[in-house]
Structure 1
């Protein structure tokens, strides 16, 4: 086992500094790592399908990493080096747990429904946002837009503020709830 001391947290170079927060007080971390040429067992069905392997398989590390990065890029999940999507908050809502009646309504409207790890029914938060009219690149409030690649990622444009992001989240929660009766839960941690 190899131990490596990680440096103090530094903000991403394409993001504005967030200011001092309790989450940023990590001074050092010691991690125990084991060298391997194979990835951990694949537990994500989409990645297993991409690799053509069953769940639990341990593909070569380079192959798994390349497939994961390609998949994230194709689905608009990779952080770009520049452009409109470089200043983003990432995916902003969790996929909500829904009732069987809500699942039937979402499914009838063409939306995806899947089972969570706890066997609960879940709707796609991104699909719900698109269902109420928010497509990639759409403006939510002044300064805050959906990314150019996916509705679930919010990006900062000129004039964006923390207050604008909070207003955008609240507006989206309200619009989805009013239209569908499904309550979205922000994935972001709001500080202050």
Structure 2
């Protein structure tokens, strides 16, 4: 409910934000959630939807291996600040909402939120999101197999081509856990840049 409202979507029985008092919240929301929603609802709807979708997809990547590290959270917060032009307190709230929603509702919401982001963003913005999602996956020093699979699915849902995905993956080759394990096992070193 909170995520749908945060994204600017609403149930049929729920009044539009313009028809609801600014401090009104759903009866099931806690006081903390009400404060968070009030702070975020101050943003223009288009910006709110864009930032919410962006943050959710980053959280989806971080949660792919079922462990969200402090490094991943910190990178998501900095990224949301940069991409959304938000002050740190709002970025922290956005990331926390996105993470919580992903942990609670994942699965179907993953597809719905990513599809919504695809519809409201340009191809360049989708590529930027994918690149940022790869960076979140690599925040701990390696991209796990689970994160890699999730990143592939995200690229597909964002309607990015295989060539675009391959190009972004190429930027993170040395961060893939499988590559790191192969290098450790074989002793092979990365080729120096020409």
TM bin, normalised by shorter chain, reads 0.3 to 0.5
> Which structure carries more relative contact order (alpha carbon 8 Å, separation 6+)?
2
TM-score of the pair, normalised by structure 2: 0.33
Please identify the structure whose Cα radius of gyration is greater. Answer: 1
